[in-house]
């Protein structure tokens, strides 16, 4: 299976908007997995990327991207850069906006920077640090996406979400509920969209 076949599979499985379809086509997953796993890049499974971390399975990335509903010009915070695939997809969707991505493992942050350069995602800034604290110096953010399991919604991230902003994150311990947080004029609205399993969010407001 190649990138186009994977995208066709995702359209059939979860449905993709034309914009998200184009973003996936522009960011081949094989560029974001370790060399020895490239032949498995288009399987709908998570794959190890080293340091105890994984690249999420394609259908999960598609679902989270759709729930996030990124728009051109948005400022997006991503917690957990990993190999950079989710950030690359978001970069295509928010251009001329910016994706700010935080990774706690320096070697993975460097791997992601190289991968992002390979697909022309110049509007992604990768930081090394505790993503559970967010990036207060660059807040507020129109969209926030967390790609690791959080025990609860991190307060700093909620604070850094802009009015009318949206955050998507998996919340829970052994099995996580995909949680959508919307900041409205009437307060915070929280909804859930299925169960998933993620690596844990490590940090002051994680595990």
Spell out, as residue ranges, where the chain has pLDDT lower than 70.
none
Q: Given the structure tokens 């001329």, which residue do they identify? A: 96
This prediction's pTM: 0.97
Domain positions in the chain are 3-196
Question: DSSP states of 122-175 as a string?
Answer: TTEEEEES-GGG--GGG--EEEEEE-SBBSS--HHHHHHEEEEEEEEEEE-SSS
Structure tokens at 201: 């969010």
* DSSP assignment letter at 200: B
Contact 179, 188 (CB under 8 A): no
Q: Note the pLDDT tens digit of each residue in 103-124.
A: 999 999 999 999 999 999 999 9
Determine the pLDDT at residue 124.
Answer: 98
Structure confidence at residue 183 (pLDDT): 96
Q: For the chain, first and last CA: distance in Å?
A: 36
Quick one: pLDDT at residue 96?
A: 97
- At residue 106, the pLDDT reads 98
Of 46, 30, 27, give the one whose Cα is nearest residue 38.
30
The catalytic residues are: 56
CB neighbourhood size of 96 (10 A): 8
Confidence at residue 1, expressed as pLDDT on a 0 to 100 scale? 84
> For position 7, what pLDDT does the model report?
97
What's the CATH number for 3-196?
A: 3.40.50.150
Helix/strand/coil for 205: coil
pLDDT per residue as tens digits for the range 184-199: 989 999 999 999 999 9
């Amino acid at each position: 299976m190649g990138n186009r076949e994977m995208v066709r599979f995702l359209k059939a499985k979860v449905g993709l908007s034309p914009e998200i379809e184009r973003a996936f086509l522009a960011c081949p997953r094989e560029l974001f997995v370790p060399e020895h796993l490239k032949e498995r890049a288009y399987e709908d499974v998570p794959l190890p990327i080293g340091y105890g971390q994984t690249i999420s399975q394609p259908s999960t990335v598609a679902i989270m991207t759709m729930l996030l509903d990124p728009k051109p010009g948005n400022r997006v915070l991503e917690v957990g850069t990993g190999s950079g695939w989710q950030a690359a997809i978001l970069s295509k969707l928010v251009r001329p906006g910016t994706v700010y991505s935080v990774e706690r493992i320096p070697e993975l942050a460097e791997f992601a920077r190289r991968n992002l350069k390979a697909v022309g995602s110049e509007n992604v800034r990768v930081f090394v640090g505790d993503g559970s604290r967010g990036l207060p110096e660059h807040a507020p953010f129109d969209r926030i996406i967390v790609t690791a399991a959080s025990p609860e919604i991190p307060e700093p991230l909620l604070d850094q979400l802009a009015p009318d902003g949206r955050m998507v994150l998996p919340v829970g311990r052994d099995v996580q509920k995909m949680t959508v947080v919307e900041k409205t004029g009437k307060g915070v609205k929280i909804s859930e969209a299925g169960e998933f399993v993620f690596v844990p969010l490590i940090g002051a407001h994680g595990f």
